[in-house]
Every structure is written in structure tokens, then in C-alpha cells.
Amino acid sequence: MSEKPDKRQMRSAARLYAVQALFQMEVSGQTVESVVREFETHRFGAVYEDGEMAEGDVDLFRKLVADAVNWQARIDQMTDRALVAKWPIDRIDPTLRALFRGAGAELVQSATPPKVVITEYVDIAKAFFPDGKEARFVNAVLDHMAHELHPDGL
């Protein structure tokens, strides 16, 4: 029998699920409601051949997905300002777009310290891109976004 995950693990899982849901919405064209329902019904705590999926903080998951959608234009503009001019957000990998939108939602609409948000989403980038330079790229972009939102310091 597995141990009940702690609050931090559940929040980390919710962030990962939010990035996956945002990616799925973009590539499939599904609505927020249908993707959230699918994740809550079929993904949270599901067991697969390679092991059990982490139980996530459902409230945080819902908030991140909703805020990412509600604030998408602002988040995408901040992301564009953090990227090199030749690489606007619509030219980057859709997984990274979803990651920036999830992190951006948390940076814009959350009391979570920006350093925690950055660390959490850099870890998600490492999970999706274990052999790449994406984690450093994510760190740089999110650091830029956090400084834009919190110019008096992180």
C-alpha cells in the first residue's frame, strides 16, 4: 500500500498535470471543461504499467488551468518579451508553451514565491526534456517573467 503523498508532492503533481492539460488543449482543440474533467476522472491517481500516477492537488490544478487560459494573452506577451526576437512564443515547442503558460499563471495569480514557481517548472522541464538544454532555457525565461512581475525583487 502506498503512502499518502504530502502537500508539496500533490502541488508538484498538479503543476505537471496542468502543463499536460494545457498542451492537450492546444493540440486537440478541446475545451477547458472537457480536459479538466478528463484529467480528474482518468489521470489523477491512475495506475499504469510503469507505476502509479501521483495524486494531485485538484484545486491547484483547476486554478492553474483556468488562470492560464484567462491570462493567456498577458502570459504570452511576457513570454515573448523574455524570448529572443526571432523566436516568438508561437515558434517554440508546444510543450514549452504549455509550461510557460502554467508557470505564468502561477506567477501572475498566486501567492507562491516566484523562486518556488521557477524551481517547480524547471523540474517539469527536466522531466519532459531529460537530455536537453530546455531546463536552462525555462529557468531564464521564467526568471525574466518573474522579474517583470516583481521588479522589487523575488
Within 13 Å, how many C-alpha atoms sit on residue 86's CB side? Answer: 0
Spatial separation of the C-alpha atoms in residues 150 and 105, rounded to whole Å: 14
pLDDT of residue 94: 92
pLDDT digits (tens, 9 = 90+) for 125-146: 999 998 888 899 999 999 999 9
Spatial separation of the C-alpha atoms in residues 149 and 154, rounded to whole Å: 9
Q: Any idea which architecture 7-149 has in CATH?
A: Orthogonal Bundle (1.10)
Residue in 50, 49, 40, 48 with CA at minimum distance from that of residue 20: 40
Asked whether residue 1 carries a pLDDT value surpassing 50, the answer given is no
Q: Roughly what angle, to the nearest 10 degrees, separates helices 72-82 and 134-149?
A: 110
This prediction has a pTM of 0.85
Q: What is the DSSP string of 53-97?
A: PPP--HHHHHHHHHHHHHTHHHHHHHHHHHS-TT--GGGS-HHHH
Residue carrying C-alpha cell 524551481: 119
Q: What is the mean pLDDT of residues 31-58?
A: 78
Other CB atoms within a 10 A radius of the CB of residue 85 amount to: 7
- Residue 125 is given by DSSP the state H
Name the β-bridge partners of 48: 51
Asked whether residue 49 carries a pLDDT value surpassing 70, the answer given is no
Residue carrying C-alpha cell 516583481: 150
